[in-house]
């Protein structure tokens, strides 16, 4: 199929529709749902919850287009052997990673809070990458999964914008992927960080990648579906 173009900043991004994937980062209950770890830390989770609806539209469009969809989750083994002691100690929290939280053990694989919100739950065949760090490439098989599918371009959604989304986009950029981050599909607890994080991605001619939004992504993904039909 011919190349397509997604309208984006700092300029429209041309991509090969056979080599594009949707990457949804850490849309886990503990970050996004009321009563989870994020809210327990005093954050306003509504700032993150507003991403669920546009993410859902992009996810539906990606599935209809038949492109690769990959989900990530931040978290650790139940024995915490893959969690750096510095990460466990950070913040001097009363309830931190590995402790019993409102939705089970915080950021521990298998806990209710660690899993992905039902609205965006992975479908059968969609890889879920469990990552111990903020970046989705660090100590995971994400790069291998993408290489095996011939992926060159990543449409990026998820939370939080300035932490796991940014770290992953930077890692992807250094590995030669072109990332387009959908502004309304990524969220931060801090409005200022949301704004600046998106500015940073597209500054200097797209130093880390491109910024677009759900509507523009759905429109271009719809062209894949129509052309394939």
Could you say whether residue 115 binds ligand C5J (CB under 6 A)? Answer: no
> Residue 150 CB: number of other CB atoms within 10 A?
11
The answer for residues whose C-beta is within 8 angstroms of residue 165's C-beta and 6 or more apart is 25, 156, 158, 159, 181, 186, 197
| Least distance in angstroms from the C-beta of 73 to ligand C5J | 9
State both tokens at 124: 């059968």
Stretch that binds ligand C5J, among 16-24, 158-166, 206-214, 220-228 (CB under 6 A): 158-166
CB closer to ligand C5J out of 84 and 222: 84
Could you say whether residue 48 binds ligand C5J (CB under 6 A)? Answer: no
Q: Which of residues 14-43 bind ligand C5J (CB under 6 A)?
A: 26, 31
> Residue 83 CB: number of other CB atoms within 10 A?
18
| Least distance in angstroms from the C-beta of 104 to ligand C5J | 17
**CA distances (Å), origin 143, targets 59, 70, 81, 220:** 21, 11, 23, 25
Considering only 9, 33, 39, 74, the residue that binds ligand C5J (CB under 6 A) is 74
| Least distance in angstroms from the C-beta of 148 to ligand C5J | 25
Q: Are 210 and 9 in contact (CB under 8 A)?
A: yes
State both tokens at 173: 């950029």
Supply the residues annotated as catalytic. 26, 131, 164
What is the contact surface with ligand C5J in residues (CB under 6 A)? 26, 31, 74, 134, 159-160, 163-164
């Amino acid at each position: 199929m011919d190349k397509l173009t997604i309208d984006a900043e700092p300029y429209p991004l041309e991509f090969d529709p056979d080599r594009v994937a949707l990457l949804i980062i850490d849309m886990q209950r503990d970050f996004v749902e009321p009563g989870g770890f994020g809210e327990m830390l005093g954050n306003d989770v509504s700032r993150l919850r507003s991403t669920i609806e546009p993410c859902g539209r992009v996810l539906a469009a990606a599935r209809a287009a038949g492109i690769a969809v990959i989900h990530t989750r931040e978290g650790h083994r139940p024995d915490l052997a893959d969690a750096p002691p510095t990460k466990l100690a950070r913040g001097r929290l009363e309830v931190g990673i590995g402790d019993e939280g409102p939705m089970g053990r915080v950021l521990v694989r298998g806990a209710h809070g660690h899993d992905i919100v039902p609205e965006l739950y992975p479908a059968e065949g969609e890889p879920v990458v469990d990552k111990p760090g903020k970046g989705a490439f660090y100590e995971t098989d994400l790069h291998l999964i993408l290489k095996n599918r011939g992926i060159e371009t990543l449409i990026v959604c998820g939370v939080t914008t300035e932490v796991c989304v940014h770290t992953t986009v930077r890692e992807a950029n250094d590995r030669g992927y072109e990332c387009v981050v959908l502004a309304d599909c990524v969220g931060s607890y801090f409005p200022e960080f949301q704004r600046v994080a998106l500015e940073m991605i597209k500054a200097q001619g797209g130093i880390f990648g491109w910024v677009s939004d759900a509507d523009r992504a759905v429109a271009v993904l719809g062209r894949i579906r129509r052309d394939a039909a």
